[in-house]
Amino acid sequence: MSNDFTEKEHEEVEVRDNDHDLPIWTSWLLKIMKERFGEEVYEVFTKENGKKCHAVWKKKAAEVGDNSIESLIKHLWGNSPREDGLEFTTEKTESGYQMRCTKCPTYDYAKQHGITEEMFYIICEGDPYFAEGFNPNIGFKRTKTLMQGDDCCDHFYYYKDQTM
């Protein structure tokens, strides 16, 4: 297999480079690596990206001095409605907090650029690492994502040491 770029690939690099568009650039690289090395690239990327996410949110918890689920939600999700177009609801249940995100500007961006598969691994697969980095006792579950074509993202945060 040749490592040389085709004329079209060179043009795509120039366009992406000129846009200074990191999500597209990262997605493009991830796509190329997947084509070359297979699905394992996603696993490796998720693990390495997860380490970074974990460290960032561990530091964030130390900075804010409150590593509760409520604090995580506040710092990760902010308030609804938001100016950037993120739409979600939060429901406190007996066993944790159920988030339901029905509009996501990151998803809209990914869909517009045809990079939802790659952005799922770049953005969405970091979610469990955010939670655990913020507090090792916070668990995270999700069964649906907009990036994978579902009607919402259904994030659920809970304390691991409490029965579900």
CATH T-level fold of 7-159 = Muramoyl-pentapeptide Carboxypeptidase; domain 2 (3.30.1380)
* pTM exceeding 0.95: no
| Cross-sheet strand order for the sheet of 87-92 | 87-92, 97-103, 155-159, 138-142
Question: Residue 138: in which H helix or E strand, if any?
Answer: strand 138-142
From first to last of its 164 residues, the chain has per-residue pLDDT tens of: 444 545 665 455 444 444 446 778 889 899 999 999 999 999 999 999 999 999 999 999 999 999 999 999 999 998 666 778 899 999 999 999 999 999 999 999 999 999 999 999 999 999 999 999 999 999 999 999 999 999 999 999 999 998 65
Q: Are 32 and 108 in contact (CB under 8 A)?
A: no
